[in-house]
Amino acid sequence: MTSNIIYEGDQHTVCTHIRSGSVIETDAPVDNYGKGERFSPTDLLATSLASCMLTIMGVKGESMGLEMKGVKVEVLKTMAADPRRISRIDLAFHFPESILSVNNKTKTILKNTAYTCPVAKSIHPDIEVVIDWGNWN
């Protein structure tokens, strides 16, 4: 088993990772009866994409002798109606000065690695994913 989720009422859940005991709490978004006090489930999906990409880039970077610490991704999730669903995820990468001078071959390898992360491969093709590689273009 991966996790347990308990509905606490008032559109809140508590999600516990079985192996570590780590906890994530969710709330419905303000545009869907929630208070926006925590990540919404759809926020988590969009955030999972960025987190997965960074994680797999970190693994690949380390295997190439490159420290990826400090890379930041800003996530913007756009919802559609009828049916209510995520229609677009925008990711904006920001790389620290320490890795800006990486050669183009290494950048290409790391970008391609990110595109193949398990979450990216699990996103439905109807969801538009737009990636801005920022100062790594």
Domain coverage including residue 23: 1-39
- Examine the domain organization and report whether 44 and 101 are in the same domain: yes
Q: Tens of pLDDT along 78-130? A: 999 999 999 999 999 999 998 988 999 999 999 999 999 999 999 999 999 99
Same domain? For 86 and 103 the reply is yes
**14 and 75 fall within a common domain:** no
In the three-class reduction of DSSP (H, G, I as helix; E, B as strand; rest coil), residue 5 is classed as strand
First to last CA, the chain: 40
Check whether residue 16 and residue 4 sit in a common domain: yes
pTM of the model: 0.93
Tell me, yes or no, whether 63 and 13 share the same domain. no
Beta strands 12-17 and 3-9 are antiparallel
Judge if 66 and 114 occupy the same domain. yes
